[in-house]
Amino acid sequence: MSKKLELVIKDKIAIITLIDSENLNPLNNETAKELLESLVSIKDRDNIRCVIITGSGKAFSAGGDIKKFKQSIEDGTPGQLMDDLTKDLYKIAYELRLYPKPVIAAVNGWAVGAGMNLALSCDLIIASEKARFRQSFSNLALIPGFAGSILLSRQLTWQQATQMAFFGDTYSAEEMKNLGFVNEVVDSNNLDKKALEWAQRLANGPTLTYARTKKLFYDALSTTLDKHLESERQMQIKSAETEDYKIGVNALLNKEKPKFIGK
């Protein structure tokens, strides 16, 4: 069993839970390594069609391990620690953006710094009404890490992004929903249930279509309109050649619910 997280597979859904609750589930070297390994290990498994990432205890993840930051300063190796830490963390951020399966963040409590950006790197966010979000990097004289600079600037206005990054204030789940980051806020007792409901819907959907849609969204960040339209057109042609396309068309004509297979 993992020391920092737990991976459970149930009904085509993989649930990854950060379990270092005593330390508020920090994203340190060990957790980053285990999370990356878990994501890679289930990436191409046909029996897994959706992923949920959540936390245990009072936090989704409180971000960086401050005790280790302090130790590295005392050892005279803060840059080396940050270099080692961010290698796996940034691989996770990239992996999630192009992950071939839908990923839901079920935010149960504090999502701070890199913990907040782990949630923002997922495709959908369901938050408990007890969830709290904070870009705490500036309090440590750090820039918004773990892809924070692109996650904030792409979704918020310049002024909103700088306010969130500069001040490091705490935002409630409802405030994050109003800013467009959180899809749904639920009672804390219903968080797991709602996340599983959404995951089941996605797991029963055309997962190859979801993966291709994510790729197009990602490519749209850095391409011209004409190139993107042609990429989209070609992707639609490939989509029309899938088994799920046949299933969807026939189900619609027969007024049935489609039973997609992700191929």
The DSSP-derived string for 2-51 is -SSEEEEEETTEEEEEE--GGGT-B--HHHHHHHHHHHHHHTT-TT--EE
pLDDT score, position 229 = 87
Q: Check whether 1 has a pLDDT greater than 80.
A: no
Both 198 and 213 in one domain: the answer is no
pLDDT score, position 196 = 97
Count up the domains in the chain and report the number: 2
Q: Check whether 16 has a pLDDT greater than 90.
A: yes
CATH code: domain of residue 98:
3.90.226.10
What average pLDDT is seen over the chain? 94
Q: Check whether 218 has a pLDDT greater than 80.
A: yes
Range of 231's domain?
207-253
**Which has the closest alpha carbon to 103: 28, 260, 211?**
211
Both 66 and 162 in one domain: the answer is yes
Would you place residue 2 in the very low, low, confident or very high pLDDT band (cuts 50, 70, 90)? low
Both 69 and 12 in one domain: the answer is yes
Q: Check whether 25 has a pLDDT greater than 60.
A: yes
C-beta separation of 168 from 137 below 8 A = yes
Would you place residue 17 in the very low, low, confident or very high pLDDT band (cuts 50, 70, 90)? very high
Both 115 and 244 in one domain: the answer is no
Q: Check whether 18 has a pLDDT greater than 80.
A: yes
pLDDT score, position 4 = 94
Give a yes or no: residue 259 inside a domain.
Answer: no
Give a yes or no: residue 73 inside a domain.
Answer: yes
Give a yes or no: residue 219 inside a domain.
Answer: yes
**Which has the closest alpha carbon to 6: 33, 34, 29?**
34
Give a yes or no: residue 258 inside a domain.
Answer: no
In the chain, the percentage of residues whose pLDDT exceeds 90 is 88
pLDDT score, position 31 = 96
Both 37 and 100 in one domain: the answer is yes
Both 19 and 53 in one domain: the answer is yes
Give a yes or no: residue 100 inside a domain.
Answer: yes
A 10 A CB-CB count for 157 gives 9
Both 106 and 197 in one domain: the answer is yes
pLDDT score, position 149 = 94
C-alpha to C-alpha distance for 151 and 225, rounded to whole angstroms:
21
